[in-house]
Structure formats: C-alpha cells, structure tokens
Amino acid sequence: MKFLRNWRRKLLGLFNFQSPGGGVSYGVALEKEIPEEFLRFLMEVLQAEVDSNGDPGVVYRLLAENQDKLDLTFAEILKKWFESEVESDNSERNQFLAGTLNNFAIDIFNFPLGSRAENLEIAIASYQAALDIYTRQAFPQDWATTQNNLGNAYSDRIRGERAENLEMAIASYEAALEILTREAFPQDWAMTQNNLGNAYSDRIRGERAENLEMAIASYQAALEIRTREAFPQDWAMTQNNLGIVYLYRIRGERAENLEMAIVSYQAALDIYTRQGFPEKWATTQNNLGIVYLYRIRGERAENLEMAIASYQAALDIYTRQGFPEKWAGTQNNLGNVYLDRIRGERAENLEMAIASYQAALEIYTREAFPEKWAGTQNNLGNVYLDRIRGERAENLEMAIASYQAALEILTREAFPQDWAMTQNNLGNVYSDRIRGERAENLEKVIASYEAALDIYTPSSFPLECLKTGENLGNLAFEIENWGIAIFGYNQAILAVEQSRNWAVSEVIKREILENDLFIYQRMVQVCINYQDYPQALLTVERSKSQTLIELLDSANLYPKNATDDQKQRIGELRRQIASYQQQLMGSREQELIGGGLTGETGENFSYTSETNIRTKLQTANQQFQQLLAEIGDPDFNLTQQVTPQLPDLNHLLDSETAILEWYLPANDESNFYLFLITPSPDKNFQIQPLTFPPEDYQKLKQAIRDYRRDYKKDVRERQLEKHLPILSQTLHLSELLCQLTNYQRLILIPHRELHLIPLHALPISDSESQILEDKFLIQYSPSCQILHNLHRRRNSKPDTCHFFAIQNPTGDLTYTDLQIEVLRRKFISQRIIPHIQATKATLNKPENQDFLRQATHIHLTGHGEFDEESPGKSYIRLANKEKLTFFDIFENLNIPNCGLLILSPCKTGLVETPPTDDYVGLASAFFYAGSQTVIASLWETYDFPTALLMIRLYQELPKFGSVVEALREAQYWLRNVSRQEVLVWLSDLSLSENQMTDCGKELRLYNKENPFVAPKYWAAFTVNGL
C-alpha cells in the first residue's frame, strides 16, 4: 500500500531535527526534551518490526545490542511518541501504528535478555498505548486480544504491588472474555481461560481456597477446547498448569489432590518429550519434583528420591548459562528436598541443601529477583534451623538473620501468605534460640505465631493454620500460659474441622480427625487447667461422632420454599447419599456391599466395586443439586457444617438428672476424664471435670482388654460378670456416688471402648449385690449433641400407637414367636411380617413402607451380627438368608414417627470403637432413619429370657410412660424372679396349653431360685437416645 511506503519513509525521518536545547523534540505534544539516542533506537526497532513482518529474531538482535536503553525512560518515550503520532482523522494510519506497537510489545515481553522488570514495563506501556486505538467499539477482536496480552504482562509484572498487578491481570482477562466467547472464538477463549487460571492460581487478594477453585474451573474450561487430539501442545500446557493448582489446592483431600497433580504432569509429559520440547519437558520435570516432595501416598523416602531425580533431570536442560533464572529455581527446589531427605546421612543432606540455596542466590539477587531472593532466604533459614554441623547457637542466629531478611521483601501487605509462613518459621527458631534472654525469646515466639495466624485462618489456610496453631498451643502449654494455649489449639481444631468439611470421602474425614486427636487431648487438659470447663467439654464433643452429628443435623433441614413432594425427594436422596458415603467409609480398598431393599437373596453379600459406589454417589449428588436448582433456594446446602458449640442442656436436665460423659484420649499415657454435668438453680447447668492420672488409665485399659478378650470366647465359656467389679473399680464408681446423692436419673455418654461395657450393670458396693441401675434410672447417648438433636425432633404423643414387627424370620426362635404374639395384643394398629414373609421385597412394598412411616413402635426380632472389622456390614437376618444391613437402613428406611425401636437380636447395640468414636453400628443407622429411642443388645441374647424381658417391658410401659423406667423395672424383675413366679406370671398371659408346657420345660433348664440373675440374661439391653 502507498500508505505503508509513505509511513516507512516518514518513520525513518521522524523527528530528525534538533530542538533549541540540543535534545530531540516530540513536537507539539512534547513538554520536555528526550535524549536523541532513545528516540532513534525507538524508530529503529519499530522499523525492524515493520520490515521483518514481526520476526522476533530480527527484533531480538536489535534489542540485544541496545539493552542499555531498555528502561523506564524508553517506556515513557514510547508512550508519548505514540500519543503525538495519533491522528484523529486517519483511522488506517492509527490502526497500523497500534498493530506495530502491539507486535513490539509481544517481542519485548518475550525478550530473554536485559532487565525482566524493565522489559515488562515497556510491554505494558506498549499495550496500553495500542488500546487507545484498539477500542472495544471500533476493533472488538483486536481490543480483546490486546487485553489478553496486557493481562499476561500484568500477571508477570515485577514492579508495583504484586496483589494489585494480579487484580489488573484478572480484569484484563475477564474483559477479553467478553468478546472472545467460546462460540465465536473457541481457541482464543480457551487460551484466555488458561491465562485466567494462571492469574487466579497466583492471586493474593480474596480467599486463597476459592481462588484455587476458580483456577481449576478456568483450566478445565480451557481443556474442553484444548483436547489432546486437536491441540496437543496447548493441552499439555494446561495439564501442566492444572497440576500446579492441584499441588497447592486447599479444598478436597490433600493426598488425592497431589495424586491428581501427578496425573496432570505425567499427561503433559506425554507431549512434552525431552527431544521435542526440552524446555517445557524440564519445566514439567521440575513441577513433578515439587509434587513428589509433598506426596502423601507411597513411601516417603522413595518419593523424595523421585523428587531429586526429577529436579536433576530438569537441570540437564536448565543450565546456568542457558536458563539462569530457571536453573536457580530448580536449585532452590533441590534444596527443599535435601532438607527433608531421609536416605543418606542427615548432616550431609543439610549441607547439600545449603549449597543448593546458596547457588540459587547467585542468580536470585535482591535487586533482580526480590521475591525469589526472599523465598530462598526463608528456605535457607529452615535449613540453618535444622543444621547439624557447626555451632548450634550460631546456626540459629543465621536462621533468624535469613528469616528477617526475607521479611524485608515478604511484607504483610504485598505477600501475606509468604509473610505468614516466614513468621511461623521465625517463631520456630526463636523457640529453640540459645542466645538472648529466654523470656524475651518466648515473647517473640508468641508474637510470630500470632502474627502468622492473622493470615493463616482456618477457612483460608487450614493446613497451615493447623500447624501454626498447634505450634502456639504446644509452646503455651509448656510455659503454662493456658489462655494463649487455648487460642492456639482452638485455631488448630477449627482448621481440622474445615478440612473435614471440605473432604469428600468419609474415610478421609475420619483420617483427618484421627491424625490430630492429640490437639483435642491437649485442649481438654488446657481448658481444665484454665477452669474453662464448658470449653473442655465442647472439645470432647468436637472429637467424637462427627459424621452422625452432621447427618442428623442436615436431615432436619429443608429449603424454605420446598413442597411436600420435594421434601420427600430430598429425604430419599439424603438417605441414598448417606448410604453411599457410609459404604465408602466402611471399605476403601475392598469390595463393598450393594445397597437397597431390593437386593438379591442368598447367604453371601451382594458386592459391587468402589468405583460403582462412587458413581452412584456422584449421580445422587447431581440429582440433589438439580433438585435444589429446581427449588431455587440459594442459601441451602446439601451438607451443613456443624457449629462448634455446646447445646443447651437445660431441657435435658431436670432437678433429678445428671449427665456423665467420659473421655478416653488416644494417647494411653495420658490422663482420662469424666465430666459430671448437673442442673443449677440459675436454670443453667454446671460442669465438673474429674481427672484420673495415667496409672489409672492404664488399669482401665487393661480391664477393658481383659473384658474384650473374654467377650470373644464362645458364649458358653464366657464369664463376663467376673470383669464387672474390676471395671467398676477402675472407673471409680463408688467414689463418684457421693457426688450423685441428689439425682435419680443418669444419662451415660461412654467413649470409645466404654460403649461395649454394660455400665448400668456395674456393681457399686463391695458385696457386688447392688448395681448402678439399682440406684439410678439409666439411659445412654453417643454425645450431648446427638441427644440434643434427638430431643429437637421429638414428636408429640400420638393419639394412636402403630406397632410394626418382624417376627422370627429364620423360624428357629420358638420364644420369639411367643414374644410377638403377646405384644401384638397391646396394639390396635399393627403390622406383623412373620417368618418366611420377612424379606426385603416384603419390606419394600409400598403399603409396608407407608406403615413404617407412621409406626410409633417398631420391634425387630431374629438373629443379628456386628462386624467389628467393617461395621457397615452389620445386619439383622431376614428370611431366605437375606440381610437387613446397616447400609439398607441408611438408604431405604424412613421412620420419622418412631418413638421406640427395639432390636432384640444379638449384638445390635455394638458400635465400632476407633479413636474418633464415630458410633457406627445398627443403632446409629436407626437414629438416622428417624427413631428417637433404640433399645439394643451388647452381646448374644438368649431366646427365652429375652422373650420374658420384652413382654415384661411392654407391661411396664403404661405404668411409667418412660422407656428407661420400664426397662429398669423389667430387668429388675427378671433378675429377681423365681422359677415358680415366672410360671404364675406366664399363666396370666393367656398362653395355650402347649406354650405353657414348653415354657415349663425351658424353665427347668435354669436355676430354681433366681433363674435369670446372671447379667448375661438381662444386662445386654440398653436404652439409647431419649
């Protein structure tokens, strides 16, 4: 074009005249003189862009020869020159100028020599100048492309505040996406999504966890277009970026996130081969080294060796001469892994770490790379803190000097996360410091940890908050500053709870809590020392039964505007989701039970793969989210995080009731505790902790082990009753009685193995003739929170009682038939499923499901089994060898009006006893299904005495109106009744002649005076819940 030729000539001769002061003048628009060599260089480089059609090689040679001119002065000259050359009435000329400047900006952005900081400033000035012409209205596509490029420059910018630069980058990318839509410009849309992901990955402002989720969303969006088949290099780039964000992801399960990072990096390496893309291969090897450094799964020592191998592979390409900045970065990373290395001599590994960091600092100078210099100084502080060689006191001083140097750059305002990390590290070194006054050093420790926790909040940085909070708590514990210890441990516990809330897998949720139970134990002791007894009790509550608490809490919540049909569907989906979660918790690697009341018959479980269960869980969650979208309540969530607070116990404690809650820490060498909770005149409640020393805890643990060892013997060889006096002594029950003289009812909240012990049957006198149940009405609960939850959903007394029973489904329990035949007479509204009819198919019939929803009393008989290894496989035997499992109950049973559910089969009251005290067993499943009170058994029951006990229980119920009182009276009667008295009692039940004959024969098998005095006949049954 004639215009281009003329413009080239004009460009060569532009401003080739002297101003009066001897400098080069900008003409009308110029207000100050500029050195002629800068302007001449600008003309030359722009001419090179035009003549070479933007060939970087040509432009780079010119830039390399004039590196001394690539500074802020040049950026200012460029901007002002452009402003002076724009002509309002010459659109074609202006567009050409903008295009040339845009191309130059790209070249200077990528130019590898000179000052990176200055090059970026020149690129930003060029893009901003081009945008004066490339407006959204006149040139929308060019405007959007330049916005994307400007975003890249701001994302990498060194000058200015880092946080603000990233906000500018995000704004530019989001502006670009307004034009570069997926439909109109799919490749550009994907590119900008990738870049936006990078900016969110690095973002400082906002919540870190949310920023990383935004980054993942952007990368995954980009991969919808950037497929391996269509765009292999772009696909590999975004896979690498996705690996980075999974490496640092906060939400989700940490171990799984790291595995996903490895998968992403290895996917990138399928394309980024050493031969084809050596630099990108090296970058991905470096990233892979980082994730192996932090990897949780696999052997730790081997992971660290793989990290070293990855870094050393990267250094084959990243030489100091060819890639000085990346060489330094990999040296820094290599120092990190040598710091943690397990194999080899520890002292030598630390020296190698120091050598690597010092090598990195040869490139990472404070002037050229201030942020990276500071990061490496922090790392150097870490290795001096652990250093073995040299004088210990001097090493610690060098660590302090390194951390303080890092903080000169890593300020709270500019780099809050890195500032907090360095503050935590500084606290660590002051804690160990030898020089200086100890008291002053400790003050600095506390100040550093507290400063770090200002940034490391439980919701933003749970892992870091956990670590720093524990550090602060431990230090304060050692110096007996209980108030600060409580603050530190509480922050750590909040971080644990946040991590549990983000974890998807119930297995991981349990592991997160179990790994940090020491903090809860310390917190309990500190709170007691500080005489903050409510906080101590709350800590105990927060350490146990969390899964069941969360399920019960969420089961009571519905969207505000949901219809009855929608609420019913919500309930069905909740039960499905809970069932799948429990199945995944019950077995991680092994095959799992298939759920549903429509399962096949047969002796063996129906198994399905873990993958299948996860798929079902994902589908159920998707259906739930679709239902929520249909209902349209934005404030409602599927899962509700339980607020850590003690429930109001006033409605549970009348003037005659006390609660006893035990706490058995995971550490066997610690104290154990009993919390006595009683009402007070001011309508509040009092909490009195009783602390028992480690030697008493050892005796208790041994007594429990002896009891459980005997329990595992054949039922005919057991002598459980001989263990009860010892358990009573080790629990100090006789001493406790003097504090309970004013109470008639006890709510017992066992912990861990104590759930397996018949506490109500423990003797309280030397003669062993009087037991705890003789003095008190006793009920059990998993926790105060669960008791409170059950009380909140208590139904008013129904006008009509509806009785549902499963009767002797296996047909081999003679007196179970007798039991149901007598009980059914007490109810007008009843539904009994007897013998061979008691199958899953029968239970699943709509008419039976409808009756179950109305049932106020449910009575299940037959055989039961508790699976100690996998409690989710526990079951009640049905007809045709079918099993009503824990999972079936979670998924399919809905009994919202059930006030009393009795499980007379064997072992239905057992629960697993992990340190997290998750209370997983058949009783917990029925609580979730809707029952308020569950009577269940702790061991194998005997058919005949169990039938007598259950019939007597129902006889006592109308007299007392209280399940607890009715069961106590029934058990007391069974303990003390004679054989003759049983026969007289049976004759009043209107039994047939054959039934009376059978009962008489059965009675002759037992002792004449007190045939059922032994605890094995009656003590297995406990009242759980209300």
Mean pLDDT of 893-921: 92
Same domain, residue pair 950 and 818: yes
Same domain, residue pair 730 and 846: no
| CATH for 689 | 3.30.420
Same domain, residue pair 753 and 607: no
Same domain, residue pair 596 and 713: no
Mean pLDDT of 413-420: 93
Of 231-245, 427-441, 540-554, 843-857, give the lowest mean pLDDT range. 540-554
Of 184-193, 195-204, 913-922, give the lowest mean pLDDT range. 913-922
With a cut of 60, say whether residue 294 has pLDDT above it.
yes
Same domain, residue pair 784 and 801: no
Of 73-87, 756-770, 975-989, give the lowest mean pLDDT range. 73-87
Q: In whole angstroms, what is the distance from residue 624 CA to residue 241 CA? A: 31
Same domain, residue pair 6 and 125: yes
Residues constituting the chain: 1026
Is residue 942 domain-resident?
yes
Give the 3-state secondary structure percentages of the chain, helix then strand then coil, rounded to 5: 60, 10, 30
- Side chain identity, residue 976: N
Neighbours of 319 (CB within 10 A): 12
Neighbours of 91 (CB within 10 A): 12
What per-residue confidence (pLDDT) applies to 552? 78
With a cut of 90, say whether residue 336 has pLDDT above it.
yes
853 vs 566 pLDDT, higher one: 853
Q: In whole angstroms, what is the distance from residue 976 CA to residue 9 CA? A: 119
What per-residue confidence (pLDDT) applies to 895? 94
Phi, psi dihedrals of residue 934, rounded to the nearest 5°:
-130, 125
Of 104-108, 307-311, 768-772, 1007-1011, give the lowest mean pLDDT range. 768-772
Q: How large is the angle between the packed helices 546-555 and 784-792, nearest 10 degrees?
A: 20
Is residue 426 domain-resident?
no
Among 478, 508, 543, the domain-final residue is 543
Tokens of 275: 């031969």
Strand order, beta sheet including 900-903: 685-692, 672-679, 657-663, 745-749, 777-780, 1021-1025, 933-937, 900-903, 857-860, 802-807, 829-834
Is residue 45 domain-resident?
yes
Mean pLDDT of 502-507: 71
Q: Which of 365, 867, 992 is nearest to 582 (CA)?
A: 867
310 vs 633 pLDDT, higher one: 310
With a cut of 90, say whether residue 45 has pLDDT above it.
no
What per-residue confidence (pLDDT) applies to 587? 40
Same domain, residue pair 784 and 800: no
Cβ proximity of 649 and 680 under 8 Å: no
Is residue 563 domain-resident?
yes
With a cut of 70, say whether residue 78 has pLDDT above it.
yes
Q: Which of 135, 151, 229, 133 is nearest to 191 (CA)?
A: 151
1 vs 667 pLDDT, higher one: 667
Is residue 326 domain-resident?
no
What per-residue confidence (pLDDT) applies to 39? 78
- Domain that residue 866 falls in: 796-954+1013-1025
| CATH for 816 | 3.40.50
Same domain, residue pair 583 and 621: yes
Q: Which of 501, 552, 787, 548 is nearest to 649 (CA)?
A: 787
Same domain, residue pair 773 and 899: no
Mean pLDDT of the chain, nearest integer = 88
Among 519, 543, 567, the domain-final residue is 543
Percent of the chain at pLDDT above 90? 65
Q: Which residue has the tokens 């839509």?
A: 181
What per-residue confidence (pLDDT) applies to 585? 56
Is residue 972 domain-resident?
no
pTM for the model: 0.74
CA angle 521, 527, 530 (to 5 degrees): 145
Is residue 917 domain-resident?
yes
What letters, b where the CB count within 10 A reaches 16 and e where it falls short, cover 606-630? Answer: bebeeeebeebbeebbeebeebbee
Q: What are the tens digits of pLDDT across the range 990-1011?
A: 999 999 999 999 999 998 889 9
What per-residue confidence (pLDDT) applies to 676? 97
Same domain, residue pair 841 and 882: yes
Is residue 110 domain-resident?
yes
Query: Pairing mode, if any, of strands 857-860 and 802-807?
Result: parallel
Same domain, residue pair 666 and 806: no
Q: What are the tens digits of pLDDT across the range 660-699?
A: 999 999 888 899 999 999 998 777 789 999 999 999 999 9
What per-residue confidence (pLDDT) applies to 593? 27
Same domain, residue pair 784 and 805: no
Query: Pairing mode, if any, of strands 933-937 and 1021-1025?
Result: antiparallel
- Side chain identity, residue 538: L
Our CA dihedral for 167, 172, 174, 177, rounded to 10 degrees, sits at: -160
Among 112, 133, 154, the domain-final residue is 133
Q: What are the tens digits of pLDDT across the range 632-670?
A: 766 665 455 556 678 888 888 888 999 999 999 988 889
> How many independent structural domains does the chain possess?
5
Percent of the chain at pLDDT above 70? 91
Mean pLDDT of 152-178: 94
Confidence of residue 1 (pLDDT cuts 50, 70, 90): very low
Q: In whole angstroms, what is the distance from residue 336 CA to residue 303 CA? A: 13
Our CA dihedral for 231, 232, 236, 237, rounded to 10 degrees, sits at: -40
With a cut of 90, say whether residue 344 has pLDDT above it.
yes
Neighbours of 853 (CB within 10 A): 16
With a cut of 90, say whether residue 396 has pLDDT above it.
yes
Cβ proximity of 441 and 430 under 8 Å: yes
DSSP string, 883-913: EEEHHHHHHH---TT-SEEEE-STTTT----
What per-residue confidence (pLDDT) applies to 556? 64
With a cut of 70, say whether residue 10 has pLDDT above it.
no
If you compute the radius of gyration of the chain from its CA atoms, what whole number of angstroms results? Answer: 37
Of 444-453, 545-554, 806-815, give the lowest mean pLDDT range. 545-554
